[in-house]
Amino acid sequence: MPKIKICGLTRQSDIEAVNIGKPDYIGFVFAKSRRQINAEQARQLKQLLSPSIQAVGVFVNEPIEHIIRLCRSNIIDIIQLHGEEDNEYIKKLKEHVPNKIIKAVRVKEYKDVEKANEFASEYLLFDAYHKDQYGGTGETFDWNLISKIDKPYFLAGGIHAGNVLEALRLCNPYGIDVSSGVETNGYKDPQKIFYMIDKIRNATFQTI
């Protein structure tokens, strides 16, 4: 069964919704974004989060020391790197904290997917490429470009209730990462969260 990640939580009501819906992961965005929160906000939200749900910290070219502090404070459980971080950066992080790492790759063409196998992270995340943004665009990309991936990956970028089953059928990812697809007027919508989780958990079809 695919894992589910609801990204970009910012409010107590968001936490209350996921505690009911029970996705596998949620995301706190520390990078510049309309969903950005700071360490203190994340700490308060994490205290309210069900222990069964893992909190992912989303970063873009962040100073390593800040990520280390968040990990050691148990504010985040998993690190997601969404910028230009290379293997040297990843290996340095691994020297200091045991937290698993998701390396995001913005897909423009097949070679972007091909190069992703070289990263020393435990997971990958494929998102749509946008020249001016590192993520959170709400846009999809050509899922047919994904093939021959050696490690588990999350599929992100413009996924919503109307296309999530097609994404699962075509790509068979380790996990689905959703943000704008479960929002109404820019805020997380509990009913959309519940519907998305239910749709993924009850999906029955043959992947190709």
* Residues catalogued as catalytic: 7, 127
> Between the CA of residue 25 and those of 13, 63, 64, 146, what are the distances in Å?
16, 23, 22, 22
From CA 8, how far away is CA 35, in angstroms rounded? 5
Structure tokens at 159: 């996924």
Query: What single DSSP character describes residue 136?
Result: -
**What's the CA dihedral at 42, 47, 53, 55 to 10 degrees?**
20
End-to-end CA distance of the chain: 15
> Between the CA of residue 95 and those of 68, 90, 101, 124, 135, what are the distances in Å?
10, 9, 12, 20, 27
> Between the CA of residue 156 and those of 36, 46, 163, 173, 198, what are the distances in Å?
18, 23, 12, 10, 18
